[in-house]
Structure 1
Amino acid sequence: MTLRRLLLSSALVATPLAMPGAAFADEGMWTFDGFPAARMQKDYGWSPDSAWLDKVRSAAVRLTGGCSASFVSPEGLILTNHHCVVDCAQNLSTADKDLVANGFVADTRSKETKCPGQQAEVVTAITDVTDKVKGAIGSETGQALVKARDGAIANLESLSCPDTKLTRCQVVTLFGGGQYKLYQYRKYSDVRLVWAPEFQAAFFGGDPDNFNYPRYALDASFLRAYEDGKPVKVASFLKWNPRAPQPGEATFVVGNPGSTQRLFTSDQLAFQREVSLPITLAIYSELRGRVITAMEQSEAKKREGGDTLFGIENSLKVFIGRQQALNSPAFTAKLAAAEADLKAKSAGNAALGNPWGDVAKAVSAYREVYLPYRFMVPTSDLYDYAETLVRAAEERGKPNAERLPGYTDSSLPLTEKQLLDERPIYPWLEQLKLGWSFSKAREYLGADDADTRLILGKESPEGLAARLVAGSKLADPAVRKALWEGGKAAIEASDDPLIQYARKVDPRERELKKLVDERYTGPLASAGAKLTQARFAAYGDTQYPDATFTLRISYGKVAGWKERGADVTPVTTLGGAFDRATGNEPFNLAKSFAANEARINKATAYDFVTTNDIIGGNSGSPVVARDGSVIGAAFDGNIHSLGGNYGYESDVNRTVVVSSAAVHEALTNIYPAPALVKELAGKGGKGGKGK
């Protein structure tokens, strides 16, 4: 589901929670061109060399659905999490063929099925373009700074990746504006579902177990990248290693952490604690209740709404954990100490000015425009289509450097793919989400607010939602294609109510964005560059940057922790799932587990925990052993990891991993896939040759 812009906070990010300027052992989401080899050598007595890092980097995969993955065979086979493919499974399901509930096994290549909107990307080069972007910015401030920066980025991306069919370029902002790097990707736009267990196996324990441990979840799946109708032949892949993890052994997590807020100043943290998070928790809780109530009305709605509910509940738990972290005096005291230390070390540096004061001023200005900026855009897949079509018609007529992000030459191929790929739309769910969005806008803005009147006119939230969904034909990809290809003339002539609605509110959306850029985004970029100077001057420039959903590597080890004075085991077994099962949701065994109990080796390692530093976006990341083999896929963190958005605590923060051993046992005895087992063993699968 799409829950866009519900967290409209800035991305001035990423410094350690450790003693100011230092990093705990195992802390850090490092770029591959900045891996701390000397530090790991000191901590572990060993560190990977450049050849090891290059091989692992070139086998890592980023999925456009917001997850990570890795190639695990020369035939383009991709390992990721089940929750990273559940949207695909939902889109491919019907009432008679429920791939989410029952799982999916493609016993031949011809049955591997394309995932709508999915794209796999592999980093091929990373280039520092800081001087070019900062040169374009010059002395600009506010909205002019944002415009100059975005224009320079658009041109760099276009010039660096002229072949948009096979490549994608992305300039990434690091250290809140202190650095800019160009990431080049080899992309694969045809990604197909190969294997997925039952949802109940992948999410055993449900929401109560989510972000908790011990866990007994088979949160793993396989995809395959295709090109020209054939599986891709990849030069680099990670060796599959279905063995048990060993307590204390070194582990690496290689993936794309989404975002962190570890560089937030005290004013930004206060905004999170006082404004953003409370609103998010309140409205998400209501949305959860609305969806559950609707799903109880029929078996069809229960099936159709399952993925949406999963996403809402997962997000709610994340936000609750963040709120708790920011309400912890001990935790926030460490953050305050780190900020105070940096201020002390920066005292007397007149060239810096007062970046903390600049941030405070920007946050104060943001408080004034936050509510309309957040609630102007409703939540709905159909509305997303409408907004994309309306904006693309306008933006594509502009020079590349003047377009909005998402509509530049480098971005348009993916935007078009996600717009036009066929996927099911459930009218009841669209109407529910729109009605909820409109009602929350009226509630927080006020019934007499000018933006509320623009959003609703004289209609009720529910009535407007019903009219827009009932009258729209945007669920049909052929209709979307005609509007996309017809451009501005087709959009202006369209009588689709969602297109007309998007055209009505788009000018205000653009106006609000300019206002936010002028008062908030631009000032934060300027302040971020100065804070980076201060940080590098105080602690050196060999720190890990903010998480940006770009490729990172973290190192750690297999290790439990102490919870309320008791040791938490680092590894669970398949047998533990049977012991934990109660027969009642969400602790009921998946049907295939129960049916195959006699065949299952219950001593097989199931899930395990490591000290690796990760965040959302790392889901599906391969967990790599010292020899470069895959021993699992990261799928969660423990409850203590939720504060990891703001800082890492080495004694309790843990990554939760599903073991390759458990996946192998499932492929053999629970959801048999002999061709996959053979392919993973390097003996070739159906339609492919072995190494």
Structure 2
Amino acid sequence: MKRLLLALLSLALVFAANADEGMWLFNQPPREILQSRFQFAPSDAWLEHLQKSSVRFNSGGSGSFVSADGLLISNHHVGADALQKLSTQEKNFLRDGFHAQSFAEEIKCLDLELNVLDSIEDVTSRVNAAIPKAVDASTAFLARRKIIAEIEKESQDKTSMRSDVVTLWQGGAYHLYRYKRFTDVRLVFAPEQQIAFYGGDPDNFEFPRYDLDICLFRAYENGKPATVTNFLRFSASGPKDGDLVFVSGHPGHTSRLLTMSELEGLRDETMPFNLSTLKRLEVLLGNWSARNDENARRARKLLFSAQNARKANDGRLAGLLDPDLMNPKSKAESDFKTKLVGQSQYADALAAYDKITEATKILMAQSRRHALLEGGQAFNCDSFRIARTLLRAGEERPKPNGERLREFSESGKTSLEIALFSEKPIYTDLEILTLSDSLTFLATQFGANDPLVKKVLAGKSPRDRAVELITGTKVRDVAFRKHLYEGSAAAVTAAHDPMIELARLVDPDARALRKVAEEQDEIKQQAHAAISRARNALLGTSGYPDATFTLRLSFGTVKGYEEDKKTVLPFTTLGGLYARAKEMKNRPPFDLPILWEKRKSHLNLKTPFNFVSTCDIIGGNSGSPVVNRAGEFIGIIFDGNLQSLPWDYAYNDKQGRAVSVDSAAILEALNNVYGARELAGELLKGRRIQ
């Protein structure tokens, strides 16, 4: 990354002349930038339609409605969680794909929740007014948690919508997001995983690409396909080179507004530790999967997630180690702090940097222990996660709403219960595998003689202890979970379940670590708010906050780039897919699914397949619709290239690109590979013709 967006400070979001940077709030869109650079002014109606056509998946990722009958599209890898849960040894939907030719054949997903953003309300003043002045971090945090829970509960009771208070600008603002929720979601279509993730790990984050990374679902209400007013019209032709395009999705997390001390903590502590756990898990699951096909099926989603996260984090760490990224950020922060010196009205902003540095030191000192105990990396299995939820539910639910851990607040109750009571399959052998390994990891990190490790292992080897816990627990029984959840803390205790008792054993330490993290995060939020006020006063209020897995609007152009003195064209074609397979001698992961070999002669091989744009995206944008000026669906985001990975910390469009599937390729594949003409027709007409 050789050319960076330079600003007066690392927190400032001032645009470079030719940078398509920005993950913009829908209630604060970049109208002036779009008008001056592209002579395009999105109307309120254009924005509202795109907002209400966009969908967030609770499993992580984005999507969009594409017909009035509740049809929606996302990525195959976003839908993989649902596909995996619906699959069996006899029917492997994740590997082999699925096609429902009628409403009756559409399969209900086990625990999928979709959220559609209905409205946004700025509640910053109300939140800040509830925080007492000159109190310690613990008191301030509790007050903030209480008022946020109050606002969310009040909104939910009034509107019956999911209501989340979202922290923006690291504490500079608080917005209330209200969502329409869909919990009856059914699988409609998925291609084979081999074409959805063609090229596998070797081609991941690369371009050119040849992936049909799509999955179609349908939202239902009252047992019938949902009637949707806002959906995106499907373009048969897709985009052209140089077109202005927009992305509407839910980027998960960025760190562009962090101070240098926070970035250095990520670079030196958090990122290396995360990578060590991911690489360990990847090797474990890869070896286990190689033993037989059923192991591979059971572990496929976990293995893909580990591989994808490992490669993404490798790229992000490379960015943090790149002086061309870090030095300008350091200079920008230093220059801005110099501006604050001697100006009494900004004394709190200047002092804020030291407060953030000190809080970061405290957080980094306990980060590994926090990740292992509170983050659950020492007990990596669904059984433990369920057991901890049951244990804490018994303790938290009797408390006043504003005093509970956030995940047990009234506003989050529906989502928590959907996940807790899911009928998804949980495999004993895979649970033993991952728990054994993570208990071993705990012992190597803390030492075998650590008092807590000794209590956790109870005089057994990690493997024997894992077998004892997994075979002895009843938490994988949904009826058992419901009984304990609907009971009380006493009922949970009376169950004498070994996995719940393990969760109880480590919970005091885990809660203590969480309390420290919450208090230090409160200090950082207040400090960032002070910096934000100074930034706005000196540099203006235009800009966008870091990503928070809430709906954002990005823009850019369809554009190739130069790499190693070679021109990378912005489009690949269906013909290029077959050329790539031939070049690689059809060896996995470059082999073609049988249908694609059989139907080659039916295809227009000149059809654009994947394309790149300068749109600003990050993880969580997977499945986001790409639209043109007319608001038509012209593609779907499924990846970024390697050069885009440091966008977590700083955007750069010299080589970084977002990668999408072209709408023309989707229609061509549905019609001429899969014979799914009814779906192609629904996409083009906006209604299902039975």
Aligned ranges 1:93-104 → 2 under 5 Å: 93-104=87-98
- What CA distance in whole angstroms lies between the structure 1 residues aligned with 2:534 and 2:445? 38
The equivalences for 1:562-601 within 5 A come to 562-581=562-581, 582=584, 583-601=586-604
- 8 Å CA contact 1:167, 1:185 repeated in 2: yes
Q: Give the residue type in structure 2 aligned to 1:644.
A: W
Distance 1:525 1:501 in 2: 33
Alignment partner, residue 155 of structure 1 = 150
Residue 140 of structure 2 corresponds to residue 141 of structure 1:
no
User: Which shows bigger deviation, 216-225 or 442-451?
Assistant: 442-451
Q: CA deviation at 1:353?
A: 4.4
Q: Deviations over 1:581-631 (max 9, x none)?
A: 131111111222112111121111100000000111111000001111000
Within 5 A, what are the aligned runs for 1:488-499?
A: 488-499=489-500
Instruction: Name the counterpart of 2:72.
Output: 78
Change (3 A) 1:323 1:683: closer
Q: Give 1:674 shift.
A: 2.1
Q: Are the equivalent residues in 1 in contact too, given 2:557–2:613 (CA < 8 A)?
A: yes
- Change beyond 3 A, Cα 1:449–1:534: farther
Does the residue aligned with 1:153 lie in a helix, a strand or coil? helix
Contact 2:238–2:635 at 8 Å: present in 1 too?
no
> Which residue of 50, 55, 68 maps to 2:62?
68
Distance in structure 2 (CA, Å) of the matches to 1:354 and 1:250? 42
- Amino acid of the structure 1 residue aligned with 2:512: E
Q: Equivalences for 1:607-622 in 2 at 5 Å?
A: 607-622=610-625
* Aligned residue in 1 for 2:15: 23
Please show how residues 358-437 of structure 1 align to structure 2 within 5 Å.
358-376=355-373, 377=376, 378-437=379-438
TM-score by length of structure 1 reads 0.95
In the TM superposition, what is the alpha-carbon distance from 1:340 to its structure 2 partner? 2.1
Residue pair 1:61, 1:69 contacting (<8 A) in 2 also: yes
Q: Is the 8 A contact 2:273 2:368 kept in 1?
A: no
Q: Which moved more, 1:237-246 or 1:196-205?
A: 237-246
**Is 1:267 aligned to residue 261 of structure 2?**
yes
Taking the aligned partners of 2:333 and 2:110, their CA distance within structure 1 comes to 45
Partners of 2:433 and 2:532 in 1: CA distance: 44
Whole-angstrom CA distance in 2 between matches of 1:482 and 1:594: 52
Per the TM alignment, residue 505 of structure 1 is displaced from its structure 2 partner at its CA by 1.8
* Equivalent residue letter for 2:370: Y
The whole-number CA distance in structure 2 between the counterparts of 1:451 and 1:652 is 48
Instruction: Check conservation: 1:342, 1:534, Cα contact below 8 A.
Output: no
Match of 1:480 in 2: 481
Letter in 2 for 1:68: S
Q: Compute the displacement of 1:489 (Å).
A: 3.0
Output the amino acid matched with 1:313: Q
Distance 2:31 2:526 in 1: 32
Offset, 1:686: 4.8
**Structure 2 unpaired stretches of 5+:** none
Contact 2:350 2:531 in 1 (8 A): no
TM-score, with structure 2 as normaliser? 0.95
Q: How far apart are the structure 1 equivalents of 2:331 and 2:601?
A: 56
| CA spacing shift, 1:243–1:54, aligned 2, 3 Å | same
C-alpha separation in 2, matches of 1:643 and 1:466 = 41
**In 2, distance between residues paired with 1:397 and 1:683?**
47
Query: 1:309 aligned to 286, 303, 313, which one?
Result: 303
Output the CA distance in 2 between the equivalents of 1:29 and 1:310: 27
Q: Percent identity?
A: 40
Correspondence 1:549-568 to 2 at 5 A: 549-568=549-568
Which structure 2 residues correspond to residues 475-554 of structure 1 after superposition, within 5 A? 475-518=476-519, 520-554=520-554
- For residues 490-530 of structure 1, give each alpha carbon's deviation from its aligned partner in whole angstroms, at most 9, with x where no partner exists: 21111322122112222221121112223x21211121111
CA distance in 2, matches of 1:637, 1:272: 21
Structure 1 residue matching 2:407: 3-state secondary structure:
coil
Match for residue 131 of structure 1 among 125, 144, 155: 125
- The code of the aligned residue for 2:272 comes to P
- 2-side partners of 1:521 and 1:466: how far apart? 37
Superposition deviation, residue 338 in structure 1: 2.4
Deviations 1:367-402 (A, max 9, x none): 222222111122211211111111111111111000
Mind listing any 5+ residue stretches in structure 1 that lack a counterpart?
Answer: 1-15
Distance 1:344 1:455 in 2: 51
Whether the 8 Å CA contact 2:116–2:179 is kept in 1: the answer is yes
Following TM superposition, the consecutive aligned residue runs of length 4 or more in structure 1 with deviations greater than 6 angstroms are none
Question: Which residue of 183, 191, 197 maps to 2:177?
Answer: 183
Q: Which moved more, 1:535-544 or 1:135-144?
A: 135-144
Residue aligned with 2:556, SS? strand
**Structure 1 SS opposite 2:661:** strand
How many residue pairs are counted as aligned between the two chains?
670
RMSD (Å), alpha carbons: 1.5
Mapped partners of 1:545, 1:387: distance in 2 = 33
Distance change (3 Å), C-alpha of 1:208 and 1:451: same
User: Residue 454 of structure 1: CA displacement?
Assistant: 4.2
Question: Does the CA-based 8 Å contact 2:53-2:232 persist in structure 1?
Answer: yes
Q: Which residue type is aligned with residue 19 of structure 1?
A: A
Q: Output the amino acid matched with 2:15.
A: A
Q: What is the CA–CA distance in structure 2 between the aligned matches of 1:117 and 1:408, rounded to whole Å?
A: 20
Q: 1:455: Cα distance to partner?
A: 3.4
> What is the identity, as a one-letter code, of the residue corresponding to 2:631?
G
- How much has 1:163 moved relative to structure 2? 6.5
Match of 1:664 in 2: 667
Which of 205, 211, 220 is the equivalent residue of 1:211? 205
1:128-147: CA deviations, max 9, x gaps? 00011111123233222221
| Structure 2 counterpart of 1:393, one-letter code | G
